Structure 1
Amino acid sequence: MSSLTVRQYKNSDFPAVKKIFIEGCHKLAYTAFFHGLKLPHNWVLMLLGFLLPLLSVGSIFLAILDVVIVLVVLWLCGRRFFYGYATECMADDMKDISKYYLQREGYNFWVVESDGELVGTVAAVPSYLPSVEKNTELKRMNVVSSHRGKGISKVLCRTVIEFAHKKGSKAVVLSTTTLQMPATCLYRSMGFKCTNISDMTQFTERLISMQWIFFRYDIPSSK
Structure 2
Amino acid sequence: MPRFEAQKSPMITYQIRQYQDSDHERVVDVFTKGGEEYIPSTFRHVLLLPRTLLLLLGVPLALVLVSGSWLLAVICIFVLLLLLRLLAGQPWKEYVAKCLQTDMADITKSYLNVHGACFWVAESGGQVVGTVGARPVKDPPLGRKQLQLFRLSVSSQHRRQGIAKALARTVVQFARDQGYSDVVLETSTLQQGAMTLYLGMGFKKTGQYFISMVWRLVDIYFIQLSYSFPSA
TMscore range, shorter length = over 0.9
Distance 2:113 2:149 in 1: 17
Query: Percent same amino acid at aligned positions?
Result: 38
DSSP-derived class of the 1:183 partner: helix
Pair 1:146-2:157 in alignment: yes
- TM-score between both structures, scaled by the size of structure 1: 0.93
- Give yes or no for contact 1:106–1:167 (8 Å, CA) kept in 2: yes
* C-alpha deviation, 1:72, in angstroms: 2.2
Which one of 66, 69, 76 corresponds to residue 59 of structure 1? 69
Query: 1:59-208 counterparts in 2 under 5 A?
Result: 59-132=69-142, 133-202=144-213, 204-208=214-218
**Distance of 1:161 and 1:28 partners within structure 2:** 26
What SS class does the counterpart of residue 94 from structure 1 fall into? Answer: helix
Q: Which runs of 5+ in 1 are unaligned?
A: none
Secondary structure of residue in 2 paired with 1:74? helix
SS in 1 for 2:105: coil
The alignment covers a number of residue pairs equal to: 221
Tell me the distance in 2 between the aligned counterparts of 1:200 and 1:5. Answer: 34
Unaligned 5+ residue runs, structure 2? 1-9
CA contact (8 A) 1:164 1:171 kept: yes
Q: Which runs of 4+ in 1 moved over 4 A?
A: none
Q: Deviations over 1:52-76 (max 9, x none)?
A: 1112211223212322232223222
Q: Give me the TM-score of the superposition, normalised by structure 2.
A: 0.90
* Residue in 1 that maps onto 2:30: 20
Moved more, 97-106 or 129-138: 129-138
How far the C-alpha of 1:88 sits from its partner, in A, is: 1.3
